[in-house]
Structure 1
Amino acid sequence: MKDSFDLAVVGSGIIGLAHALAAARRGMRVVVIDRDQKANGASIRNFGLVVVTGQEPGPSRRLAERSRKIWLELANEAGIEILHRGKLIAAQRPEALAVLESFKAGEHGAECKLLTARETVGQLASLNGKAVVGGLFSPFELRVESREVLPRLASFLAERFAVEFRTGISVTDVAPPFVETSAGRLRAEKVVVCPGDDFSSLYPQRLGEHGVKRCKLQMLRLAYPGFRLSSALMSDLSLLRYGGFAGLPEAAALRGKLGEQRGAALANGVHLIVVQSADGSLVVGDSHHYGLTLDPFGSEAVDRLILDEFKTLFGTVPDVLARWTGSYASAKNAVLRDTPHEDVRLVLVTSGTGASTGFGLGEETIVELFGQ
């Protein structure tokens, strides 16, 4: 039967593609269905940063470690370019350095390097040495260009594994072994629904029961600053955004200090990540605002909070080339995997870490559906 598959994946963002890859590698016949012609949501509106260090210990860390290995495999198999590796966290306050020292002493800090202020600036000479008290370098992080990687990965799946992509088509109902679409019915033994931040098309009641909301973020692209990054960069505010740091006892003092000095940034969920694209431009962000329906407008005040943090570390701010907002699903737990039917899984990464954890999550879901 032409329209018969082992697995149908609804959604062609990074989480959907991760599930398609996991199934295709096992020799399954896979179809990916998406209402858009190409990925244009949170999967391309991000840093392209695969974060391992700082992920909350437990499932998030495990998924990130496995996903990193798969990204490296894809770099060879699919020609995906790794733009830079590693992550430098530049501590601006003694309280932040205390968090990094505590992390270094823990189970996941062994392969990271704790740095003095001079060593931190040595990692990135363009840093304002007066703004830095020390740092931590992690060797694990990878940086890809998301807007280029998503279509490249889709092409790889189609060419290497004959995964079918049906775009511009809406899924109206999932009733295994049938999937009803705006272009007709197809048959699939199992179905994975990866809706991103679409909470109304499929299983809206179940998503509502899990308390899923949207998170809106703001990001910017800056002109080439005259220097090259050898790794991603984060700063003090970032330590409160990742459970592996924020869960440490020392984080309480940092939160208090940042509340005194950077209260507006905390209130707007601002932290600083800086990565660099092949053309030398910088991707900088971001912020976090939560709700079921969020306005589509970016705030100049929020952008200024992000750029102020950048200026503190670098002294000057290059010209802004582009600004955008993103939206992703957010909930209490980092991952939502629900079972609306024994042959269906509803899967969302609800922590903004799809690139970091999605490939590992895809493998686990496929094992859950099909067995070892």
Structure 2
Amino acid sequence: MSEIDSYDVAIVGAGIVGLAHALAAARGGRRVLVIDRDAQANGASIRNFGFVTVTGQEQGTVWRRARRSRDVWMEVAGPAGIAVEHHGLTMVAQRPEARAVCEAFLQTDMAEGCAWHDADAAQALLGPIRPATLEGVLTSAIDIRVESRTAIPKLAAWLAAHHGVEFWRGVAVHSVETGQLETSVGTIPARAIIVCPGDDLATLFPDALAGITRCKLQMLRLADPGYRLPGAIMSDLGMVRYLGYAALPEAAALRQRLEAEQADHLANGIHLIVVQSADGSLVVGDSHHYAATPDPFGKDAVDALILDEFHAVFGHVPPVLERWTGTYASAASHSRVARPLPGVQVVTVTSGTGASTAFALAEETIAAIAAQPQGAVA
């Protein structure tokens, strides 16, 4: 690496946000370099459900980004050898207040591909899944799920093989200036630089990331229950967390009831998402705890609350195969995009929705770079 070429776009960070920017830049015909200090994907981009969630995302820009990102996943999954493990979402309404939220949601412009099913029809859709109480289910045909542990490496490999994106792994970026990066292997010239730091809020441009904290989550993998899910499964707790539901006036009554009945779940930021892998095992979560530096330890009491909600929806809890924690950048907004220097963008998703929205966010970033006058620094 003694002689380092110049790049049209250099991207710091090979998580889903960095890869999404690499795809958008490469599709625009640019020479792209991605730099990451880790030897392989290790962070939030693989410690998740792989659930590309459209239904329930915040109304407006975020929902539109999710819808577009879902379409990009469908464009790249086949060519990249990424299996779409299942399609669709089944939102289980356990209480009358939850049913009211679902019915209100269906009146919004976010309800494309969604439908309501009363209790009898809902139970037929759920099959062997036996909620303790059931008002009905909201279904969506839009959402998809990939296995993030394998999808992220496959996406990177495909970007390298078919789009000529270069990856330098195990390389630390010490500083960034307009037109160049100082790294552990030397100075790298680049016309445009995009820093995708994930939840590293201190190394590069900390001022641009001020006000962002970190969120720790706990997740589990359960053994194959012996049946296939109709899609991702969520429950009442998700309707007071995902803003596409939670911002509706009808959600206030549901939150009030949940505060009376499941205060511990809410205090630990728990909502239920269950997705299924090709081997039949179930990925289940999750919880949310916030700190500048979250501790790395999973708590059994938190897992117990997650499994309590699983039991309330499924009626049976298979054996636990794996447990893990993850962290991601968190703020009140969906994302943070900053331009600390000419030609330098800092982009981080601050809502735990990188898999669901990063492709569209990246297209916006690359379009802004392309809109710069010819010869100008982005």
Return the offset for 1:321: 0.3
Tell me, in whole angstroms, the C-alpha distance in 1 between the residues paired with 2:204 and 2:4: 25
* 1:342 aligns to 2:346 (yes or no): no
The equivalent position to 1:32 in structure 2, one of 24, 31, 34, is: 34
Taking structure 2 as the reference length, what is the TM-score of the superposition? 0.96
Matched, 1:227 2:191: no
State the AA in 1 paired with 2:67: E
Q: Which residue in the other structure is 1:64 paired with?
A: 66
Equivalent residue, structure 2, for 1:291: 291
Matches within 5 A, 1:71-150: 71-150=73-152
Q: Deviations over 1:142-165 (max 9, x none)?
A: 000000001100100100011110
**Kept after mapping to 1: 8 A contact 2:132/2:315:** no
Quick one: distance in 2 between partners of 1:122 and 1:48? 26
- Once structures 1 and 2 are overlaid, which stretch shifts more, 99-108 or 82-91? 99-108
Q: Which runs of 4+ in 1 moved over 6 A?
A: none
Matches within 5 A, 1:138-217: 138-208=140-210, 211-217=211-217
Q: Choose 300-309 or 1-10, whichever is displaced more.
A: 1-10
Q: Shift of residue 371 of structure 1? A: 2.0
Q: CA deviation at 1:116?
A: 0.5
CA contact (8 A) 2:63 2:110 kept: no
Q: Corresponding residue for 1:55? A: 57
| TM-score, normalised relative to structure 1 | 0.98
Cα shift at 1:111:
2.8
Q: CA contact under 8 A between 1:275 and 1:282: conserved in structure 2?
A: yes
Instruction: For residue 53 of structure 1, give the secondary structure of its aligned residue in structure 2.
Output: coil
Post-superposition shift, 1:26? Answer: 1.0
Whole-Å separation in 1 of the counterparts to 2:131 and 2:272: 17
Deviation per CA, 1:158-190: give whole Å up to 9, x if none.
000111100111101111211110111111000
Deviations 1:237-285 (A, max 9, x none): 0111111100000100000000000000000000000000000000000
2:22 is paired with a residue of what secondary structure?
Answer: helix
Unaligned runs of 5+ in 1: none
CA contact (8 A) 2:50 2:145 kept: yes
- Partner in structure 2 of residue 243 of structure 1: 243
In 1: Cα distance, 2:232 partner to 2:45 partner: 18
Amino acid at match of 1:229: L
Identity among equivalent positions (%) equals: 56
Aligned partner of 2:16 among 6, 14, 17: 14
Verify the 8 A CA contact 1:117 1:129 in the aligned structure 2: no
**Contact 1:275 1:283 (8 Å CA) reproduced:** yes
- Tell me the equivalent position of 2:304: 304
Q: SS of the counterpart of 1:361?
A: helix
Matched AA of 1:255 = R
Alpha carbons 2:131, 2:312 under 8 Å: kept? no
Q: Which residue of 2 aligns with 1:267?
A: 267
Deviates more, 1:319-328 or 1:117-126: 117-126
State the Cα distance separating 1:2 from its structure 2 match.
4.2
Task: Assess if the C-alpha contact under 8 Å between 2:4 and 2:187 holds in 1.
Answer: no
Q: CA deviation at 1:332?
A: 1.2
In structure 2, stretches of 5+ residues that fail to align are 373-378
Q: CA deviation at 1:39?
A: 1.1
The residue type paired with residue 105 of structure 2 is: F
**After the TM superposition, which of the residue ranges 60-69 and 110-119 deviates more from structure 2?**
110-119
Structure 1 CA distance for aligned equivalents of residues 112 and 15 of structure 2: 34
**Superposition RMSD in Å:** 1.1
Q: Which residue of 2 aligns with 1:330?
A: 330
Kept after mapping to 1: 8 A contact 2:12/2:196: yes
Question: How many angstroms apart in 2 are the aligned matches of 1:335 and 1:130?
Answer: 37
Between the aligned partners of 2:367 and 2:172, the Cα distance in structure 1 is: 27
Rounded to whole Å, the distance in 1 between the matches of 2:269 and 2:37 is: 31
Please give the secondary structure, in 1, of the residue aligned with 2:158. Answer: helix
1:269–1:288 contact (8 Å) kept in structure 2: yes
